[in-house]
Amino acid sequence: MTKGLDVTIWGTRGSMTALYHDRAEFGANTSCISAEWDNGIVIFDCGSGIRGFGLDLLKRNQIVNKKLHIFISHLHLDHIMGLPFFPIIYMKDWTIHFYGSSDENTTFKKALTEIMAPPYWPVALEHAGAEMHWHQVNSGDSFELPGSAVVRVLRANHPNSTVIYRLEIGDKHIVYGLDYEVTTECQSEYESFVKDSTMLFFDGMYTAEELPNYRGFGHSSWEQGIQIMESCNIDQLHITHHDWSRNDQALNSLEQKAKEMNDRCTFSREGMKIHFDTDK
Ligand SMILES: [Zn+2]
Ligand SMILES: [Zn+2]
């Protein structure tokens, strides 16, 4: 690990996994992104991509501080399906802090521990091995993490209780802003939250042409991502939460169109690593 901030994309798909021979470039796994700095590790969502991150962590032999902070956007299955296969939860010498939002019928902790327990899974999450702590999040909250890092929370326009997150480390600000349908009603709230960020992970599941058929599904178009990047002074845009049905050819062709509009836009690929030098 070099000094600075390392962001790695472990899963790029929305709704379900997409393991086909023609989807290898952009990847098959559902949402998961890690951010690491010299004394902190944050994970956004536990999609099936989190398994790859867990295996990567186990291969390293120089992790001094065996602590993770997992921020979950919401409990839709594509965002939690990787948790049973994340090897770190079974490690007694690790500590995991879970963060998530609750709706009026159940708490985030109750819902997650109920779904990861018999008869759905043979090992109950709470007895898996790692030491676990639970943090309820609400829109407007901020959490301080090691190394003067801060994670901020905003409610999302998405079915059920969903939030997005903004990680700030020194002068580098990364927004995990997916599973969010940007509409005229909520656009200004979204824009204030993502403004001046270094990198925005944006929900570009649909195209502008497709979007009218999917109103209320809770996702946006990549064209909206470009418009927001430009109007909100954002350095780099990553389009992610790719529709599982799009193959590499389809995503490459959409990315090419997007880059013609603004070349600071990239379509996320599984395994991509992005390094930032930070001023802290
Ligand atoms: Zn999703
Ligand atoms: Zn969702």
Going by pLDDT thresholds of 50, 70 and 90, the confidence category of residue 17 is confident
How many angstroms separate the alpha carbon of residue 280 from the centre of ligand 1? 32
Spell out the domains of the chain, with CATH numbers in brackets: 5-275 (3.60.15.10)
Ion ligand 2 residue ranges (Cβ < 5 Å): 76, 179
H/E run at residue 139: none
Per-residue pLDDT reduced to its tens digit, 194-238: 999 999 999 999 999 999 999 999 999 999 999 999 999 999 999
Distance CA 179, CA 154 (A): 12
CA angle 60, 65, 70 (to 5 degrees): 90
**Residue 72 has what pLDDT?**
98
Proportion of the chain above pLDDT 70, given as a percent:
98
Predicted TM-score (pTM) of this structure: 0.96
Least confident of 15-19, 26-30, 125-129: 15-19
How many angstroms separate the alpha carbon of residue 65 from the centre of ligand 2? 32
Give yes or no for a contact between 180 and 154, defined as CB atoms under 8 angstroms apart. Answer: no
What tokens were used for 31?
């949402």
Task: Show the beta-strand stretches assigned E in the chain.
Answer: 5-11, 13-14, 32-37, 40-44, 67-71, 95-100, 131-136, 142-145, 149-155, 163-169, 172-177, 199-203, 236-240, 242-243, 265-267, 273-276
